[in-house]
Amino acid sequence: METRPALPNPPSALSRRLSVVAAREHGVGPEQLPLIGIDPDIFDVFYREHIGSVEGFVVRRIGDRERAADLTAEIFLAAIDSAHRYRAGLGTPRAWLLGIARILVAGDHRRHDRRLTGEERLRGSALLDGDDAARWDARIDAAARSRELYRAMDRLPDGERAILELVALDELSLAEAAAAAHVRAVTARVRLHRARRKLRAELDATADQTDPRKEDRS
C-alpha cells in the first residue's frame, strides 16, 4: 500500500531562508510545493508565480468579475489545504493547481447557468476597489473572444472539452493536461484528437450558416 507523505516538519531558520531564496529565483518546485501550506513566504512566491495562469483560467470560463475573483481566491485556499498531499506524480505544480481550478470551476458551473452570466446583476461590487474592478474587466474583455469559441465547444463531451481547454486555452502540455484531468496521457491524446476534429466540424457548420454568399445563392 502506498504511504502518504507526511506533512513537512517546520524548517530551520537557515533552511527556510534558503528555500525562499531558491523559490524566488527558480519558482516553487515539486519539492517545495508542500511547504505552501505552512510557510507564508513560500506561498507568496507560489501565488505570484501562478496568479496570472489561474486568473486567466477562471475568466475564460466565468464572465462575472466578482464570481471570478471569489473562485480565484477559493482555488488558492484549496491549494493551501491540499498541499501536504501533493506528490510529483500528480504533475507539475502548475498542472496540479489548474487541476484544482478545474474542479472548483466545474462546481461553480453546476450552481450557475453559464448561459445566464451576462444577465446576472453584479453583487458585492463594493468588495472590489476601482483598480481591482478595472483589472478584472480588462481580463474579461480580453477573454471575450475565447468565450465565443467556448460556446462552440459546448457540444463536446465533458472529457474531450476539458483536455482541449487545458491544451488550447491554458497552454498546458499534453502530459500536464492529462495530469490536471486525472487521466492517462494516451487517453488525453485521443480525447484531444477527437475534440479538435469535432470542433472544426462545428465551426465549419457555423461558418456555412452565417456565410452571406451562400444565402445569396439560395
CA 43 vs CA 6, 14, 49, 96, 147: distances in Å = 19, 18, 10, 15, 31
In the chain, how many H helices and how many E strands?
10, 0
Beta strands of 41-176 (E only): which ranges?
none
Hunting for cell 498531499 — which residue is that? 85
More confident residue, 198 or 134: 198
Indicate the pLDDT class of residue 25, thresholds 50, 70 and 90.
confident
Report the distance separating Cα 170 and Cα 191, nearest Å: 16
The grid cell for 138 is 480588462
With a cut of 90, say whether residue 50 has pLDDT above it. yes
Residue 206: what pLDDT?
63
Report the distance separating Cα 112 and Cα 110, nearest Å: 6
More confident residue, 30 or 121: 30
The amino acid occupying position 80 is I
pLDDT per residue as tens digits for the range 114-143:
444 444 433 334 445 556 666 666 666 656
Q: What is the DSSP letter of 37?
A: G
Report all structural domains of the chain as residue ranges with CATH numbers, in order of start: 20-114+128-143 (1.10.1740.10), 153-213 (1.10.10.10)
Indicate the pLDDT class of residue 1, thresholds 50, 70 and 90.
very low
Residue 82: what pLDDT?
92
More confident residue, 126 or 91: 91
Mean pLDDT, to the nearest integer, of 60-74? 87
With a cut of 70, say whether residue 7 has pLDDT above it. no
Report the distance separating Cα 45 and Cα 90, nearest Å: 20
Mean pLDDT of the chain: 77
Indicate the pLDDT class of residue 214, thresholds 50, 70 and 90.
low
The amino acid occupying position 168 is A
The grid cell for 124 is 458585492
CA 204 vs CA 39, 155, 156, 199, 215: distances in Å = 51, 14, 15, 8, 16
